[in-house]
Structure formats: C-alpha cells, structure tokens
Amino acid sequence: MREFDYIIIGAGAAGFSSLIKINELTKDKPEILMVSKGPLGGTCVNTGCVPSKALIEVAKHLKKLNIFEDRGLKITGYNMEFQRLFESIRDLTSRLRKSKYEDILNEMDNVEFIQGEARFIDKDTIEVNNGRKFKGKKILIATGSRPNIPNIPGIEKIDYYTTEDIWTMEGKPTQMAVIGSGAIGLELSQAFARLGVDVHVIEVLDRPIPTTEPEISRMLTDILRRDGVKFYFKTRVKEIHSKNGEIILKLISHSGEHEITVDTLLIAAGRRPNSDRLNLERAGVEVDSRGFIKVDNKMKTTNPNIYAAGDVAGTPKPAMLETIAAREGVVAASSMIGVEPETIDYNSIPVVVFTDPELAFVGLTEEKVMESVGACACRGVQFSLMPKSQILNIEDGYAKLVIDPYTGTVKGLHVLAPYASELIIQGSLYIRHEYRVEDVINLIQVFPTVSEIVKATGQAFIRRVDKMPCCVE
C-alpha cells in the first residue's frame, strides 16, 4: 500500500487552493494524492459560478438593448439563438477547466491524480473505487456539496433539472417552475424570464434571500416581477405528476390549493454536504445534525490528522461560496504542514446574488443588531438619488448601512445596485477593521460611480441626501 504525505479528497476550490498552498509552503516537494469523483474545478467552474454568470450576462444585455433609446440609440434586428447560447456556455466551462485546473495539475510532478470516489477504511487510509488503498499522513476532505432534492411525492417519477445539470439543456423551455428562491434560484429565474420563458418560483418562506434586509428582498422581488417572474411565497409543493409530456405541480398555501402546469422543472432548494458516502465513522470524523463535518477554526476535524474545508465543512460561513472554500483550503493547508494560519473572520465575508441589479451584503442586518445590543442605527438611500443612476438610465437600487448605536461602528452593509458585487468589499473592510460611520463619510469616493451610494448611506446620518449637490463632503 502506497503512503502519501498528503491526500486531498476533492478537486474544487478548497482542494486546489490547499494543493497549491502546500506546495508553496514546503521546501521539499511532498508526495500528494488528489482524488476526485467529479470533474476538476468542482462546482464553481463546471456547473455553478461560471456558467450561471455567462447566462446572466447574455440575458442582461438582451433586456437592455434599447436602454438608451431616449438618447438616440435604437437597436433592431437582433437574433437570439438559445441552443448556441448553451453550447457557448459549455465551451466556456471546458476552456476554463482546462486552463485553470487541468493544465496546472499537469505541471505538478509531485501530485498524483485519480478520478474516482474515495472512502475511509480506517483513521488514515482511504479506498478509491472500492479497490486501491492509500495511506495519508495528513488528509483533507474537500468533497463539496450537491443540490438538495426536496421530498415531494411524485418527484422521483418525473424528469427535472438541478442547478448542476441544467447546463445540458438543448432546447428553450416554454414554461418553467423553479422550486426555491435562494441566490441561484433567483439568478436563473430572472435570466430565463428575460430570454422569454414563463417562469414560476415556489418558495416556502415569505420572501427571497432572508439573510438580507426585508425591504431589499421586497425591492428585488418587484424587479423580477417586472421581468415576468411569478412568485408563490409561503407555498409548498404538495405533489408532482406528469401528464401528456407536461409537469403538473399541486401547490398548497394559506389561500388553499391550486395547480400550475409547466414543461420544465428546476430544483433550486439549497445544497447538502457530500459527506454521507465517505465512511467518516471509520476515520473517527464527526458530523453535525445536517451532515457537515465538525471542524475547529484551523479546519481540523475530530481526527487530528484529518481536515475539512469548503462546502462540506461545518464552519459559520454566510453562504456556500467558492471564495470561502478557497480560503478554508489555505487555512487547512497551513495547519496540516504546521504553519499557524490566519483564521477566517466569517462575519466580514460578502455575499452576492448576481441578479440585475445585483444584491450584495456583508455583516449583520438591522434585526440581528437589535437582537445583539438592543438597539440599531440604520440609514437607507435610494440609488435614483445618485448621479450615476441617471447616467446609466437605471433607477432601481438601494443601499442600507447598519451601525451599532453605542460604538458607532459599522455592523452591516446591504446594497441592491448595478455592480454591487464590485463595491461590497468596502463593507467587508469597514466591518473587519471596526470603522465608524465617520470613516465611511470621510472616505473620498470617485465621481460619478455606483459606489458613491455607500458614502451616501453614511452621509444620511448627518443630512438629507435628497438635498445634497453632487459632490458635497
């Protein structure tokens, strides 16, 4: 049986980040085994961030073809080829998988890669594909997550897409039902609606994205409704069946039961950790009630020689994000080789929903600060008050700054605006370094930009923003 210095189970963001960091921090090239059941690159490049954002960009440009018609620019005679769009998305993911993962791995002569499924047979040994066995001095579990399939009567008898296999779609749907209104559910719902699909979103909660401010959830819902998305909140799917090639969903809510009929169903009801097929009990690795692997702040599990990072790890992450997985992989790698890692401040990690406009938030909501200290100071500003709004011809948007009233420090920032993903890092820095509202005001922003809205939320504490000139300090 061959023994490796390090075994990495998983080849996504956490696994690759850990692999690269181990090689960077060790003088002699250690022997490393990487095993992955799925394709190199994991969820993000293959079925998550990359393909979804490519689809979103096309749908956004289609929606805004004539946004500047009032300024003399009118575009006519365009053609939208749905099948070609999805072929190009698949081609994009293949190119990035090769250049960002396959080519890099091929250059590492100290790494052996095996495509297959790994399971533990004892505290330091794995078996791959029920055959070859390998020992590891240190082992990282970075197996990621998979779509959660709700237990709905009849769902096992119909064909449906998940957020991972929807990229295999060949023809344009006519009517689509989406179960779930989390980030990916909203993103894809808006994109498909803008491409001309009749979209129905079913959600058991009373609003989408419950981790942001409720008024922003409502604003985003209204924007998607204008794009044609139909929402069914506080509603669950009682049962599903098919008839004459169509999918019939029986919905139940406080107002009673009714049915909707579609030709395509997308399951976007969250994700679950890939921990259940690893035989973790044989390795002495414990999981919590939801199947996430228990780890400390150095990513060490209940087995001192086994670590976990990424979606499968039970850390207090605000969402399952590629960037968090990568950072956790770095922390795990540092810990495994004996270097004291810089632990992760999860409260200052931003979350983005790539709708149009984008929703980005970091830190706490007004409600959470109220629960924590008993009071909260908050200010919100409409994007339409920013000069950049008029330049872009986009009025939709809002930003809210959440402050601890006793210390004046920034506790949260929530932004619904174009390019919110590019500016939310300001909020991360404010929270991480305990900036006060005065610091937000005193920071000189670039004019005219969307990011000025962050400064405006600070200025709203001392004056009326709707009565300000463009560049008042």
Range 316-319 contact pairs with CB under 8 angstroms and sequence separation of 24 or more:
316/346, 317/346, 317/349, 318/211, 318/346, 318/349, 318/351, 319/183, 319/211, 319/351
Find the mean pLDDT for residues 393-422: 97
Which pTM value belongs to this model? 0.95
Same-domain check for residues 324 and 367:
no
Q: What value does the mean pLDDT take over residues 224-252?
A: 97
E strand residue ranges, 142-281: 145-147, 161-162, 175-179, 198-202, 230-232, 236-243, 246-253, 256-262, 264-267, 271-273
**For 424-447, how does the pLDDT look when each residue is reduced to its tens digit (9 = 90+)?**
999 999 999 999 999 999 999 999
Single out the residue of 56, 66, 350, 359 nearest to residue 223, CA to CA.
359
Residue 130 reports pLDDT greater than 90: no
Looking at the structure, tell me whether residues 174 and 262 fall in a common domain: yes
Q: Is residue 134 part of a domain?
A: yes
Distance set, CA 25 to CA 106, 329, 334 (Å):
20, 13, 8
Please compute the mean of the pLDDT values over residues 322-326 and round it to a whole number.
97
| 135 and 6 together in one domain | yes
Q: At residue 175, does pLDDT exceed 80?
A: yes
Q: Are residues 138 and 281 in the same domain?
A: yes
Given a cut of 90, whether residue 471 has pLDDT beyond it is no
Q: What does the chain come to in residues? A: 473
Final residue in a domain of this structure, among 212, 240, 269: 269
Q: Do 140 and 279 reside in the same domain of the chain?
A: yes
Look at residue 26 and tell me whether its pLDDT is greater than 80: yes
Domain end marker among 248, 269, 290: 269
Shortest CA distance to 240 belongs to which of 250, 255, 231, 230?
250
Check whether residue 136 and residue 246 sit in a common domain.
no
Co-location of 362 and 296 in the same domain: no
* Residues 43-72, mean pLDDT to the nearest whole number: 95
Domain boundary among 269, 302, 335: 269
User: Is 473 a domain residue?
Assistant: no
| 177 three-state secondary structure | strand
Task: Decide if 352 is inside a domain.
Answer: no
Amino acid at 168: T
Note whether 27 and 121 are same-domain residues.
yes
Q: How many whole angstroms separate alpha carbon 450 and alpha carbon 416?
A: 10
Above 80 in pLDDT, residue 106?
Answer: yes
Both 11 and 116 in one domain: the answer is yes
Query: Which domain CATH number covers 300?
Result: 3.50.50.60
**Does 472 reside within a domain?**
no
Together in a domain, 374 and 459:
yes
Q: Which domain range does residue 418 map to?
A: 357-467
Q: How many domains does the chain contain in total? A: 3
199 in the same domain as 80:
no
For residues 194 and 85, the answer to whether their CB atoms sit within 8 Å is no
Q: Which CATH number is 463's domain given? A: 3.30.390.30
Residue 218 within a domain: yes
Q: Give residue-wise pLDDT tens across range 250-301.
A: 999 999 999 999 999 999 999 999 999 999 999 999 999 999 999 999 999 9
pLDDT at position 434 is 97
Contact 307, 140 (CB under 8 A): yes
- Indicate if 25 and 159 belong to the same structural domain: no
- pLDDT tier at 206 (50, 70, 90 boundaries)? very high
For residue 351, is it within any domain?
A: no
Better-predicted residue by pLDDT, 467 or 331: 331
Position 450 confidence tier, pLDDT thresholds 50, 70, 90: very high
Mean pLDDT estimate for the chain: 96
Q: For residue 470, what pLDDT is reported?
A: 84
Angle between helical axes of 49-63 and 183-194 (0-180°, round to 10): 40
Predicted local confidence at residue 324, as pLDDT: 98
Tell me the percentage of the chain whose pLDDT exceeds 70: 100
Number of H helices, E strands in the chain: 15, 22
Q: To the nearest whole percent, how much of the chain has pLDDT over 90?
A: 96
- What pLDDT is recorded for position 345? 97
The pair of structure tokens assigned to 340 is: 């004291």
β-strands 132-141, 306-308 pairing:
parallel
pLDDT higher than threshold 80 for residue 473? no
pLDDT higher than 90, residue 78 = no
